[in-house]
Amino acid sequence: MQAPKPDVRWTQLRLPVAPGDAAAAGSLALCQCQPGTAALAQIVVAPAMGVPQGYYQPFAQWLAEQGFGVTTFDYRGSGLSRQGPLRQARADLLDWAQDCQRVVAYLKQQFPGQPLIWIGHSVGAQLPGLSPTPLPINGLLSVGSGSGYWRDNAPPTRRVARLFWWAVAPLVTAACGCFPGRNLGIIGDLPAGVLWQWRRWCLHPGYAMGAEGAWAANAYAAARYPLHALSFEDDEMMSLASTQSLVGWYGNAPSLLERVGPALSPSGRIGHMGFFRDAMREPLWQPLLPLLEQWRQGLSGPGKPLFGPPESPA
């Protein structure tokens, strides 16, 4: 007989973008999943570009069943945080980086003394490094993240990058006042400010550091929390070179880059989005627990590979 799943509780709240800002349009939509007993640590799951936080609900639920408190959120002007028409959303990627800071500050206030771990999917692992002061987190797990410089994209994305960045993205955004990616079946809905800034980053070999200047490089260099970066062999967007760039930005952080093959997936496919699908509980989520425990205890070394080949029998 299968053991019953641990009790968890979901709550929703709105977090003002700036302290004292009570306007609905200036708030972030957060969903929290807490275990029925005292949490081992708090975990933030930060979404990829254009991906609503609901996509990560199965993963958040599973983490809470393992004893962790979990917070998901939508960036300013996206998902449940958007108020009104998309074309009226006023946000860029640096605003989204501020959203990350605000979420961390709130959780530190809400759960004083508890360890805090950040799990970032794609852009969700880029933005923490752009904080003017390093985020007070115990560790950063990067999932399918890296530089968005178009020449370093994985081949399936690189083949269409010219058309997207020099035709589709600018023409659609100029005409609509936003990027309605959900209707187009491309990326997801993005405020105009996000699209234009992201385009500038992706066309520069240095990505954000090249486009924004020395302050961005200095911000990444100031991070000292441990980084574990997962790069997927069949990721259609992020190449190994892209993820190597990301690890290089966090140059002063204890780091480990791990390459993960699609054979671990029951379907034989992981790609850019597959890690967070419910079918990955046993092959990809369960192996995270030793790393999360290490960070929960405040250990800051680079750790060990999570998905390495099994040890040979003695």
Give the domain ranges of the chain: 8-296
Neighbours of 10 (CB within 10 A): 13
Neighbours of 109 (CB within 10 A): 8
> Is the separation of the CB atoms in 237 and 49 below 8 Å?
no
What gap in Å lies between CA 254 and CA 193, rounded to an integer?
33
Indicate whether this model's pTM tops 0.85: yes
pLDDT of amino acid 195: 98
What would the pLDDT profile of 202-250 be if each residue is shown by its tens digit? 999 999 999 999 999 999 999 999 999 999 999 999 999 999 999 999 9
- Quickly tell me which residue has 């950063």 as its tokens: 140
CA distances from 271 to 27, 79, 240, 261, 265 (A): 32, 23, 13, 10, 10
Neighbours of 187 (CB within 10 A): 18
- Fold held by 8-296: Rossmann fold (3.40.50)
What would the pLDDT profile of 80-98 be if each residue is shown by its tens digit? 999 999 999 999 999 999 9
With a CB cutoff of 8 Å and minimum separation 6, the contacts of 40 are 66, 67, 68, 115, 292, 293, 296
With a CB cutoff of 8 Å and minimum separation 6, the contacts of 4 are none
